[in-house]
Amino acid sequence: MKKITGVMVYYHFICKRKLWYFNNDLNMEHNSELVGMGKLIDENSYGREKKSILIDETINIDFLKNWKVIHEVKKSRKLDEAGKWQLKYYIWILRSKGVKIEKGILDYPLLRKREEIFLTTSEEEELMEVLGQIQNIINMDLPPEVINKAFCKKCSYCELCYI
């Protein structure tokens, strides 16, 4: 079984085709958001909290406060649901390693907003189903259907989907 990364959980909620492309090493995101986010974090005054922690080569946490609160930095709230589940996944992974994570916080520095995220027992079950679905998708021989959403125009795989 392939390790599931936080980005894969994020893409699952955005577009399953994007998840498939990403996992098949068609990674075209070098431009962009991830690099931009790093810059954003550096420019923020988060003090001495640990930054960008890579765990198990699976999840890359933006930063962790007192080993209890995980922060994930996002640019906008447009794809909120995906960001929430990515963070719930981080909470679950760290708890499964014995770290007593209380909650996550989605930070939107550009909007000067933040939102607290929790992982309930029923959501944990939902998350397990999502992880199973992700394994199924990445094992498919062909990518899932194009989703035809407005944000496809900004997707790095747009040319592959709409040729």
Which residues of the shown chain bind ligand SF4 in the complex (CB under 6 A)? Answer: 15, 17-18, 21, 146-147, 152, 155, 157-158, 161
* Cα 26 to Cα 24: distance, rounded to the nearest angstrom: 5
Chain centroid to CA 25: how far? Answer: 17
3-state secondary structure of 27: coil
Tell me the closest approach of the beta carbon of residue 163 to ligand SF4, in angstroms: 11
* Cα 159 to Cα 163: distance, rounded to the nearest angstrom: 6
Q: Rank residues 53 and 146 by Cβ distance to ligand SF4 and give the closer one.
A: 146
Tell me the closest approach of the beta carbon of residue 110 to ligand SF4, in angstroms: 22
Contact 63, 41 (CB under 8 A): yes
Q: Rank residues 61 and 155 by Cβ distance to ligand SF4 and give the closer one.
A: 155
Q: Rank residues 119 and 155 by Cβ distance to ligand SF4 and give the closer one.
A: 155
